Amino acid sequence: MNVPVPNNLEAFWMPFTANRQFKKAPRLLASASGMYYTTVEGRKLLDAAAGLWCVNAGHGRREIVEAVANQVGELDYAPAFQMGHPKAFELAARLTSMMPKPLDHVFFTNSGSESVETALKIALAYQRARGKGTKTRLIGRERGYHGVNFGGISVGGIPTNRKFFGSLLTGVDHMRHTHDIERNAFTRGQPEYGVEFADELERIIYLHDASNIAAVIVEPMSGSTGVLVPPKGYLERLREICTKHDILLIFDEVITGFGRLGTPFAVDYFGVVPDMVATAKGITNGVIPMGGVFCSSEIYDAFMTGPEHAIELFHGYTYSAHPVACAASMATLDIYAKEGLLTRGPELAQYFEDALHSLKGLPHVIDIRNIGLVGAIELRPIDGEPTKRAFSAFLSAYEKGVMMRTTGDIIALSPPLIVSKAEIDFLVSVIADVLKTLP
């Protein structure tokens, strides 16, 4: 493959990247198909991260490419303010039909960060709309990731995402995270220990009183902080507490949505229905930026009062329900349905689990955890140099033909849902080789 390489890398300030290191030895991707990326040098890389947790149906899907091309030629853009186009309503109906009752409405966004921001704003506005304007506090969780906008990093609990930006939203508290490596190391599936961590919410409610708390937001499974699987009964307990105290429960399913756990959404896997669900990523297979917030009929109906000509919610984006994004999403849903990808997890989950846990006992491995088609290998940090060992593993795997994600000193794996057993074997063998050679 003869792909021109840029001769000036300085202009692009790259996100979440060690810019100086990258620009000394750039890793440039030129094309992608199925389970593989191809670099500008022509080397193939197994995609063990589904891009950034988003390419669930694999790369280069012809159906999505054609849907996008056709839509650009037919209707390239349409405003969503006081106007609409048919695909937006068709897509909304298809998506809400996939959700359990009463999550009957969806508000379209352009990313996971925007979905979280939207959900938080709807929660605050909903409390005012029903005459409970004192309910303004928001509760997140330590080690939670909810995007990079001010609301998201305020309720999020990743220190490095927060410390550089000074004052964030006020009126925010955080529950303890659920990671308990001492009791739950090398757990397969949901950990046995930790349901009591949900009771931290009761302490926070007691401190502030439920009359001042609008919503609780959690990832059903925390992905970006290293695949933190909820203990058995934990999410159920959060739901009980929120219901008891009349507090909204928001699930951030930007990662877990669209088949990652082996069910369409985490709400299906865990059998816990929140009041809102934030989504993005797999909604278009990563092809076009898009997201959405599902909300209950009770929330939606609280806004549908007053004069019919009046705007009910003063919120939205120029590109909400963009026609090209809607076309990409509907083509993506067609692939998911035709190939059974949203429920393929159980077919491979045991094989994936056994393959990952075969790495137990290799150098530096202090934990392995998994659920559905997502897993993590936690490494012992180098004293005084946190994150360096996992980053070294990332670079070594790249040279050996695997692109994976690292977060802190954790290797996170989330291959496209089309992955085969042979590709799982290759992935795990490369990681084993990498671990054996790490300093």
Residue 99 and residue 268 in contact, taking contact as beta carbons nearer than 8 Å? no
Residue 245 and residue 208 in contact, taking contact as beta carbons nearer than 8 Å? no
- Rounded to whole angstroms, the maximal C-alpha distance in the chain is 68
- Return residue ranges of the chain for CATH 3.90.1150.10: 19-60+344-437
139: pLDDT confidence band, cut at 50, 70 and 90? Answer: very high
Cis, bond preceding 100 (omega within 30 deg of 0): no
Torsion of CA 210, 127, 146, 278, to 10 degrees: 120
CA distance linking residue 275 with residue 298, whole number of Å: 9
Q: What is the pLDDT of residues 243-254, one digit of tens each?
A: 999 999 999 999
CA distance linking residue 126 with residue 130, whole number of Å: 6
5: pLDDT confidence band, cut at 50, 70 and 90? Answer: confident
Tokens of 260: 């990652």
Residue type, 17: T
- Return residue ranges of the chain for CATH 3.40.640.10: 66-339
Tokens of 24: 């000394």
CA distance linking residue 97 with residue 103, whole number of Å: 9
Tokens of 94: 């298809």
Q: What is the pLDDT of residues 334-353, one digit of tens each?
A: 999 999 999 998 999 999 99
> Average pLDDT, whole number, for the chain?
97
Q: Does domain 66-339 have CATH number 3.40.50.10490?
A: no
Mean pLDDT for 190-198 is: 98
CA angle 336, 257, 205 (to 5 degrees): 160
**pLDDT higher than threshold 80 for residue 3:** no
Q: What pLDDT is stored for residue 1 in this prediction? A: 55
Alpha-carbon Rg for the chain in angstroms:
22
CA distance linking residue 198 with residue 96, whole number of Å: 28
Residue type, 129: A
Q: What is the value of pTM for the model shown?
A: 0.97
**pLDDT higher than threshold 90 for residue 7:** no
CATH of 19-60+344-437, one of 3.40.605.10, 3.30.420.40, 3.90.1150.10, 3.90.1170.40: 3.90.1150.10
Q: What pLDDT is stored for residue 6 in this prediction? A: 80
CA distance linking residue 61 with residue 46, whole number of Å: 16
Q: Is 154 exposed, middle or buried, given 0-12, 13-18 or 19+ CB atoms closer than 10 A? A: buried
* Phi, psi values for residue 143, rounded to 5°: 65, 15
Residue 292 and residue 317 in contact, taking contact as beta carbons nearer than 8 Å? no
Considering only residues 3 and 156, tell me which one the structure prediction assigns the higher pLDDT.
Answer: 156
- Coil vs helix vs strand at 430: helix
